[in-house]
Chain A
C-alpha cells in the first residue's frame, strides 16, 4: 500500500473544510472495507485519508411509523441487518444488507459508505432508491438533501464535490399497502457481487398497483429506475400478462455490459425474470 496522510477531524465543519482544501486527492474513510482493499490493490490512489469516525452525531438511528427511517453515516451494515425496525418495515433493504460481503465485512462496512462508493452493483442502493431514500449532505455549515436517485453520475461517481460529507440517509415509512422485495443474482449465496440486482417498492390493494418504484442494479453505469416499467404498472391490476409485459419493458430499460461475470444478453434476461419475481414477492409471494 502506498503511504498517505491521515486526518481525524473532530467536527463536521473541520472535516468539510479539510476535504475542500485537500480536493479530489482526499478520500473519506468510515468502514474502510472498500477503500483499503482498493488502496492495497492499487485500484485507487489517495494521498489523504480523512477519518470521520471521531465526529459525533453520525451513529444515530431512528425509526418511527410517521417519519420513517433515518440513520447516520457511521451506522454499519450489520446494525441495519439486525435491526428489528428494518426487518419489519424494509424487507428489501434487510435482504440486501444480509447479502453484502461477509458478516466480518458487514460489521465494519457502513451503508452510507456502500452508497458513496457508487458501484453499479452495490447491494444497498437498489432497495434504497426503490424506497425513495434521500441523503443528507453537509458542506461548509449548511445541510442539504439529495434524493438518492439523483445522486449517481456514473460508476464510482456522484454529485458530491470536495467539502461535501454525507451525514445520513432517510426514507419514508411504509404504509399498510406497501410491498417490497430485493433479489440479488450471483453465482454464490454469500461473498458475492450482484450480476443483477432488482428492488421493488410498491403500493398495492387487492392486486391493484397504485404506485411502484423499480430499481435495477449492475445493468447500467449506475443503479437505475425502470421508470417506463413503473409507468406501465401504475394504476393497473397485476396479472400474469402484465407481469410478462413489465419484465419485457424492464429488459429494454437495462443497458448491461458483458464481462467475465455474465454476458450482456444474460444480464438482460435476468432483469426480466427478476423484475417479474420481485413484483410477485412484493405482492406477498414467498421469496
Chain B
C-alpha cells in the first residue's frame, strides 16, 4: 500500500491536472512488447564484434604483448594494444564543470593497476572468434607490489599507483571541513562515543551490461550508441581523446537498463570500440559479459569511518569529529566527488555546531570505485545514524525521540552551505513514529526465543543536484505543433526511472494540454540541448524545471498569438485541456489547433520555447522504519517490514516515486545484509564476479513495504516544488536495519554487510561474556 499525501505549503493553491497523477508511463508499451531499443540491440550491416583482453595480475608493467597468433586467426580484423592507441591522459568521470575530476587514465596503458584491467582489444567477425583471439594474445608482465588495502596503500613507504605527486596514494589532497570549536564541544560533553565503521564493497549490478556500438561515416564522423547516463560527457571525452571536434562525435542513448550512477564513467570500451571501428572501416560492437561488468565496472567506495561524538546529558550533540577514508581502487573516477560529498554530509542530518571532519580517498590495486546511488552519504550516514542509536540508549532516550530532538530544521546550514528549507526530517520521523505505533512496539515483550524480532529507525537527507561540487545546468526545448500537440526535446537521459514521463507531465501541466499530447525527443547529442547527465537525484528537479520554463515560454507565445483572435489581453487567457480560454468565464474559447494552426491561407505559427535552469541546492529527507527477525541459531536476518516516509516536495508521479523508494530499499537491504564484491587480498583477484556469488536480494526476499510520501517542504527551485528521490531510500534503510538488529539481539555491528556468520559469532561472543 502506498500513501501519498499532499500538504501544500507556501505554493500556489492551484489545481493540478497532470502533475501528481500516476499517468501511464510513456515507455510502457514499447518496453513490454520488447520494441524498446537498447544499445545492445543495435545491429548494423557488416558489424564486427569486439572483446577486451583483461589482465590476470593486479599491478604490473607490461613487458611485451604478442598479438601475432590472435591476428593470424581467421575472422580477426584488428587488434589494439597500448602501442596502437592515442596516449591522452583523461578523467574516467569527466564532468567539465567539476573541480574534482582526476585525469589519471589512458585508453590502454603500459601498466596495469587492477586485476582485470583491459590491456588489448580485438575486433572479429563474431564474438566467439573475438573471444578466441583474446585468449591467443600473450602478455608478459613485470609484477609490481600489489596494494590491496587502504592501510597498505597509504603507508608513506608504499610505491605510488599514480604519479600525481600527492604521496600516500592520495587521489586528492585530504578534504577538511570545520565548523565551530570541536575541542570546546568535547569539553562540554557528558558522554563521548568513538567508533570505527567498516564499509563493504557493494556494486550497482545494473541489469544491462556495458555495451557500445561505433560507426564512422565517410566524412570522419563517429556515431556511438552506448549505455551511459551522461551522453555529453562521453561525447566530450571521446572528442578530446580521439582528437576530433565535438560535431564529429554523435552519441545516441535510446533506452538504458540502469546505471545507478556508475554509468557516468567511461569504461575503456567506448574508446576501443571507436578505434577498432576506425581501424577496420566497419561498425563494431563491444558488449561486456556479466563477469566483465563486475570486474571492469564500478563499485561503491569501501573504506573506514572513524567517528567520535560528544553528547550532553540532556541529549544534545556538542562535538563531532570524523575521519572518512575511502578506497578508490585503481583509478580516481568519482573518488574526489564522493569524498567531498560524503564527508561534508557529516555536518548535517543531526544538528551539531562543532564539527571537524577529514576525508581521504586512497588509490589501491583493487576494483575501481565510482559513483553509486547515495554517493558517499550511504557510508557516512550509516556510521552517524548507528552512533545516534547507541548514544540514545546510553543517555536513556528513545532512539526515535533522540533523532527527532536532534534532526536538522528549517534554516540550519546544509552540507552545501545553504539554509535548509522546511522541517522535512522532523516531519518524516514524526510520521514514522505515528504510522508504526513506535512507542507501543518498543514496549512489546521480547521473549528469549530462537527467532527474535527487533525494530529500528534510520534517517537521511540528500541533495537534489550535485551543486556546489558541480555547477549544473538543465536545458530543454519545447515545440508546439500546429495541431496543439507538443514535442519536448530534452537532454535529460533516461536510466529507466520514468524521468521522461515526469518531464512530459510537467510540460503538459504548464501548457494546459493532456499528458498524451506531449512526446519526447531525447538521447541524441546531435539533436537535444546540452545536458550534464542523469545523476545526483536531479533529473526531475533540474531537467524538469528547464522543461517547465521552456513550456512556460511556449505558453506565453500561444497566449500572445491567441489574444487578438479572442479579442482579449494575453493576461486574461489560460490554456485548459487543449483549449485557450478567456479566464473571466465568458465561455469564449479556441482549440489550440485553431489558435496556432494554419488558417485561411496563413501558415502555422512557429512556437518554440527554450528553458535553461541552473540550480543551487535542495534537500530531500527520509526516515525508515524496519522490523527484522534474527534467527539466533543460524544468524540469518530477515527484514519483515519497512515503512519508509519520504519528504520530496511536490510529487510529480506518485507510483514512479514509490518505485524509486522500493528499489532503493531492495538495494539497501542487499548492502546491509548480503552484497559484497570481494577480492582476494593476496593477489587482488575477484572472488565473486557473478550473480551466483554476489548476493542481491530478489523479489522473494523483499519485505512488505508501506511507502508514505509527504510534501511538507517543497523547494522553490524545483518544478512546482519538486525535489529529488532517487538516492534517498538507499541511505536510510541500512541504519534502520542495523539498529533493528541491535533491538532484536542486543549486538551492535559497526560495518556492512552484516552476514549470518558474523551475527552468529557475535551472539556466541555475547553468550560467553554473559557467562563469565
Contact = CB atoms under 8 A, between A and B. Distances in A.
Interface in A213-270: 260-263, 266, 269-270
Interface in A160-194: 185, 187-191, 193
A190 B692 contact: no
A41 B688 CA distance: 14
A260 B756 contact: no
25 contacts: A1-B128, A3-B128, A41-B291, A185-B634, A187-B674, A187-B756, A188-B674, A188-B697, A188-B700, A188-B701, A189-B698, A189-B700, A189-B701, A190-B699, A190-B700, A191-B698, A193-B692, A260-B687, A261-B693, A263-B757, A266-B635, A266-B756, A266-B760, A270-B634, A273-B634
A187 B698 CA distance: 11
Contacts of B128: 1-3
A11 B204 CA distance: 49
Interface string B669-694: 00000100010000000011000110
Contacts of B674: 187-188
Complex A-B, nearest 4 residue pairs according to Cβ-Cβ distance, in ascending order = A189-B700, A190-B700, A266-B757, A187-B695
Nearest to B132: A2
A190 B698 contact: yes
A269 B764 CA distance: 12
Contacts of A266: 635, 756-757, 760
A191 to B, nearest CB: 6
Contacts of A260: 678, 687-688, 693
B760 A188 contact: no
Given A2-B128, A41-B291, 20 more contacts: A1-B128, A188-B674, A188-B695, A188-B700, A188-B701, A189-B698, A189-B700, A189-B701, A190-B698, A190-B699, A190-B701, A191-B698, A191-B700, A260-B678, A260-B688, A262-B757, A266-B635, A266-B760, A270-B634, A273-B633
Contacts of A2: 128
Interface in B607-649: 633-635
Nearest to A274: B634
Interface string B405-421: 00000000000000000
> In the complex, which of the residues A185, A187, A266 has the most CB atoms of chain B within 10 Å of its own CB atom?
A187
Interface in A1-46: 1-3, 41
B300 to A, nearest CB: 18
A273 B451 CA distance: 13
A3 B693 CA distance: 28
A263 B697 CA distance: 21
Contacts of A262: 757
Contacts of B697: 188
Interface of B: 128, 291, 633-635, 674, 678, 687-688, 692-693, 695, 697-701, 756-757, 760
B661 to A, nearest CB: 22
Nearest to B690: A41
Contacts of B687: 260
Nearest to B631: A273
A263 B698 CA distance: 23
Nearest to A263: B757
Contacts of A1: 128
Nearest to B676: A260
Contacts of B693: 260-261
A269 B755 CA distance: 15
Contacts of A273: 633-634
Interface residues of A, number: 19
Contacts of B700: 188-191
A2 B760 CA distance: 45
A187 B635 CA distance: 11
A144 B760 CA distance: 47
Contacts of A270: 634
A269 B698 contact: no
> In the complex, which of the residues A1, A261, A269 has the most CB atoms of chain B within 10 Å of its own CB atom?
A269
A287 to B, nearest CB: 13
Interface string A38-63: 00010000000000000000000000
A266 to B, nearest CB: 4
Nearest to B702: A189
A193 B690 CA distance: 13
A190 B699 CA distance: 9
A276 B27 CA distance: 52
Contacts of B756: 187, 266
Nearest to B674: A187
A37 to B, nearest CB: 10
Contacts of A189: 698, 700-701
Contacts of B701: 188-190
Nearest to B634: A273
B766 to A, nearest CB: 16
B703 to A, nearest CB: 11
A188 B666 CA distance: 13
Nearest to B289: A41
B760 A269 contact: yes
> In the complex, which of the residues A2, A41, A189, A263 has the most CB atoms of chain B within 10 Å of its own CB atom?
A189
A266 B688 CA distance: 19
A188 B128 CA distance: 33
B691 to A, nearest CB: 8
Contacts of B692: 193
A78 B291 CA distance: 29
A109 to B, nearest CB: 16
A41 B131 CA distance: 11
Contacts of B695: 187-188
Nearest to B757: A266
> In the complex, which of the residues A260, A262, A263, A270 has the most CB atoms of chain B within 10 Å of its own CB atom?
A260
Interface string A272-286: 010000000000000
Contacts of A188: 674, 695, 697-698, 700-701
A185 B635 CA distance: 11
Contacts of B699: 190
A185 B756 CA distance: 11
Contacts of A191: 698, 700
A266 B635 CA distance: 10
Contacts of B760: 266, 269
A270 to B, nearest CB: 6
Contacts of B757: 262-263, 266
Contacts of B688: 260
A266 B699 CA distance: 26
A6 to B, nearest CB: 16
A41 B674 CA distance: 24
Nearest to A185: B634
Nearest to A277: B633
Contacts of B635: 266
A211 B699 CA distance: 39
A269 B758 CA distance: 13
A261 B693 CA distance: 7
A273 B678 CA distance: 27
A262 B756 CA distance: 9
A190 B757 CA distance: 20
A183 to B, nearest CB: 10
A222 B329 CA distance: 38
B629 to A, nearest CB: 13
A97 B678 CA distance: 30
A5 to B, nearest CB: 16
A185 B634 CA distance: 9
B516 to A, nearest CB: 35
Nearest to A102: B698
A66 to B, nearest CB: 38
A135 B693 CA distance: 31
A273 to B, nearest CB: 5
A260 B686 CA distance: 10
B357 to A, nearest CB: 34
Contacts of B698: 188-191
Contacts of A190: 698-701
A270 B634 CA distance: 7
Nearest to A267: B757
A193 B760 CA distance: 21
B209 to A, nearest CB: 14
